[in-house]
């Protein structure tokens, strides 16, 4: 077993060593890092709500009314009115009977998946699924199978063979609506049909679809009118909603069971009630005409730099060294664009990950495109691998 120092040297040699580099300013469209002012194309604040005056005011009002902390877990005395009201609002927005809120999206996955499946069951994951889904599936003890990215034929074969051999087993298929590092969508309608045909449950992670897609911003499931056919709709309040936290939308029975089995819910101090209070304001704004206008503005901004509709735009460079050098060059040019490397993405696909926000000005996006030499707009993802 290598020592910590040896492990760190190995990471450095592979171009995989990470360091925290704190900002010296709030995380808006323009930030200050190490004395340099940068245009921020690194955050997931797709609608610019993290600095929206209505959301800031709601958070402050929540602290004044409900205090700074919840003081206990939800099942002890940590449940306050904003938690209950937020879950009711989310259920109505997502078209489900109920929801359960968690401290983060990661905590949502870690609580939900092991509570739904166990050693006698199966989890099928898209290869590019987020680490929280992978870790939760491993934690569950269920048999884990990974299918190639968006490969419907492979998923169908897995479902057919597994159901034939294990007629009584619970099968959970988990995927993302918008994939966090590539920005593409899953073929949701086809996956829903496959899970229904083979009596499997579907968990759809809408982390990067929430706020961005759908008539009222409730994600790909809403956009495709499939909310009522998906067992578990998972999401986060830490991206387009501009805050933090996670949620799981499902039937009342499933939510009641998760309340009793999801360990990350049961054994965690409840999120601050002020945060839930502010999340209600964010949810209402997202679903309002003002939220619709922000989504229109976001799509207009995306169109300047990409022919796709996703705010996540990868520029694939291949090697870790190339990605790090490109990120450093962009920083010198005045832009914060992160280098993304293994294990966040597969080896050999290191990249820049551009995140576009409705809060960016079109002039700033054109400057970014010029710095990246992207003219005309690129198709997603752009590969600059040799």
Give the pLDDT mean for 142-161.
98
Residue 212 falls within a domain, yes or no? Answer: yes
Residue 11 falls within a domain, yes or no? Answer: no
* 213 shares its domain with 117: yes
How confident is residue 384, by pLDDT bands cut at 50, 70 and 90? very low
Catalytic (active site) residue 88: no
* 385 shares its domain with 268: no
pLDDT for 377 equals: 52
Residue 112 falls within a domain, yes or no? Answer: yes
* 319 shares its domain with 282: no
User: How many other CB atoms sit within 10 Å of the CB of residue 36?
Assistant: 12
Catalytic (active site) residue 6: no
Which CATH number characterizes residue 76's domain? 3.40.640.10
Q: Which of 94, 208, 277, 360 is the catalytic position?
A: 208
Q: Which of 184, 205, 206, 224 is the catalytic position?
A: 205
Cβ atoms of 45 and 27 within 8 Å: the answer is yes
pLDDT for 221 equals: 98
Q: Which of 87, 176, 184, 206 is the catalytic position?
A: 176
Catalytic (active site) residue 222: no
User: How many other CB atoms sit within 10 Å of the CB of residue 99?
Assistant: 22
> Minimum mean pLDDT among 25-39, 148-162, 199-213, 238-252: which range?
25-39
Residue 83 falls within a domain, yes or no? Answer: yes
Catalytic (active site) residue 239: yes
Is residue 386 scored above 90 in pLDDT? no
* 202 shares its domain with 249: yes
User: What residue numbers bound the domain in which 325 lies?
Assistant: 305-386
pLDDT for 374 equals: 54
Q: Which of 52, 83, 185, 239 is the catalytic position?
A: 239
Separation of alpha carbons 188 and 195, rounded Å: 11
What 3-state class would DSSP assign to 168?
Answer: coil
Which CATH number characterizes residue 354's domain? 3.90.1150.10
How confident is residue 308, by pLDDT bands cut at 50, 70 and 90? confident
Cβ atoms of 339 and 331 within 8 Å: the answer is no
Mean model confidence pLDDT for the chain: 95
Which residue spans within 96-200 are E strands per DSSP? 98-102, 122-126, 143-147, 171-176
Query: Per the omega criterion (within 30 degrees of 0), is the bond before 343 cis?
Result: yes
Catalytic (active site) residue 180: yes
> Over pLDDT 70: what percentage of the chain?
97
Top pLDDT among 308 and 258 is at: 258
H or E stretch at 364:
helix 362-372
pLDDT one-digit tens code per residue, 320-375: 999 999 999 999 999 999 999 999 999 999 999 999 999 999 999 999 999 987 54
Q: Which of 43, 44, 355, 357 is the catalytic position?
A: 44
How confident is residue 307, by pLDDT bands cut at 50, 70 and 90? confident
Q: Which of 180, 244, 306, 357 is the catalytic position?
A: 180
Last residue of a domain, one of 232, 254, 287: 287
């Amino acid at each position: 077993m290598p020592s910590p120092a040896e492990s760190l040297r190995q990471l450095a040699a592979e171009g995989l060593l990470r360091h925290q580099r704190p900002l010296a300013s709030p995380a808006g469209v323009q930030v200050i890092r190490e004395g340099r002012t940068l245009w921020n194309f690194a955050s997931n604040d797709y609608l610019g709500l993290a600095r929206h005056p209505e959301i800031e005011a709601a958070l402050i009002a929540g602290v004044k009314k409900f205090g700074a902390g919840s003081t206990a877990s939800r099942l002890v005395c940590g449940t306050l009115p904003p938690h209950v009201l937020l879950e009711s609002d989310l259920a109505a927005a997502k078209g489900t009977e109920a929801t359960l809120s968690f401290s983060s999206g990661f905590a949502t996955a870690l609580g939900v998946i092991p509570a739904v499946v166990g050693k006698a069951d199966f989890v099928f994951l898209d290869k590019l699924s987020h680490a929280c889904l992978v870790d939760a599936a491993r934690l569950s003890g269920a048999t884990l199978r990974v299918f190639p990215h968006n490969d419907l034929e492979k998923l169908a074969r897995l479902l057919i063979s597994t159901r034939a051999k294990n007629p009584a087993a619970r099968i959970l298929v988990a995927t993302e609506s918008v994939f966090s590092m590539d920005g593409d969508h899953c073929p949701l309608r086809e996956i829903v049909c496959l899970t229904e045909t083979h009596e499997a449950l579907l968990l759809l992670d809408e982390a990067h679809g929430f706020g961005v897609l759908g008539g009222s911003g409730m994600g790909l499931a809403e956009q495709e009118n499939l909310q009522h056919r998906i067992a578990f709709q998972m999401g986060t309040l830490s991206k387009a909603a501009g805050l933090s936290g996670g949620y799981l939308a499902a039937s009342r029975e499933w939510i009641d069971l998760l309340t009793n089995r999801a360990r990350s819910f049961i054994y965690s101090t409840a999120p601050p009630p002020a945060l839930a209070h502010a999340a209600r304001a964010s949810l209402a704004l997202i679903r309002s005409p003002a939220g619709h206008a922000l989504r229109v503005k976001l799509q207009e901004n995306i169109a300047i730099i990409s022919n796709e509709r996703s705010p996540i735009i990868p520029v694939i460079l291949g090697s870790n060294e190339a990605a790090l050098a490109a990120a450093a060059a962009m920083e010198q040019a005045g832009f914060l664009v992160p280098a993304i490397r293994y294990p966040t993405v597969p080896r050999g696909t290191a990249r820049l990950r551009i995140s576009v926000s409705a809060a960016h000005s079109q002039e700033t996006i054109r400057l970014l495109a010029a710095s990246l030499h992207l003219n005309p707009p690129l198709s997603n993802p752009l590969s600059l691998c040799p």
